[in-house]
Amino acid sequence: MNFEHEHVLALCVISLLVWIVVSAAALWPFSRQRLRDRLPFVLSIANLALELAAMDLPKAFRGIFESLLGHSIYGKRFETDWQWINRWEIYVGSVFFWGIVLGGIWGLINLIRGRARITSGLAVAVAVLIGVYRNFFLSAL
C-alpha cells in the first residue's frame, strides 16, 4: 500500500498540521524578537511540511481544482507538453526552495550577530544541504 498515492487528503492534512505545530512551537510566545530570531528556522525547516501540503493540494481536492481549471489536473495542453500537475509541483517547489534560501541567508545573518544560535544554525545547515542536493544531484538527472 502506497500511503502517499492512496490517501492524499490525509497526507495533505497531516502535513499542514505538522507545519502548524512546529511553527507555533518555534515561535511561541509570539513577539517581534522571537519572530526575528526564529523565522529562519520556520522558513528552512518547518516549511518543508507546508511544501508537501501545497504540492498535494490539487490531488487532495481534485474536483475543486478541475472545476476551476476546466480540465483534468492530469491534462496536457499539447501532446508534447507536461501534465498540469507536474507544472504545479515544479512552480511550488521553486517558491519553497527560494524560501529555504531566504531562511538560510537570514539564519546566517543571525549567526553572525550571535542571535538564536541553535535554530539559526539548523536553518543554515538545512538550506546548505538542500541547496547542494538540488544543484548537484538533481542537475545530473
50-67 tens-digit pLDDT: 999 999 999 999 889 888
Tell me the C-alpha distance between 88 and 57, whole Å: 10
pLDDT tens digit string along 83-104?
888 889 889 998 999 999 999 9
* pLDDT given for residue 112 in this prediction: 95
CA angle 45, 4, 13 (to 5 degrees): 60
Q: Write down the pTM of the prediction.
A: 0.82
Q: Which residues contact 73 (CB under 8 A, 6 or more apart)?
A: 58, 59, 62, 65, 66, 83, 84, 85, 88
What is the percent of the chain where pLDDT is above 90?
50
Q: Can you give the C-alpha Rg of the chain in angstroms?
A: 18
- SS3 state at 30: coil
Mean pLDDT score, 68-89: 81
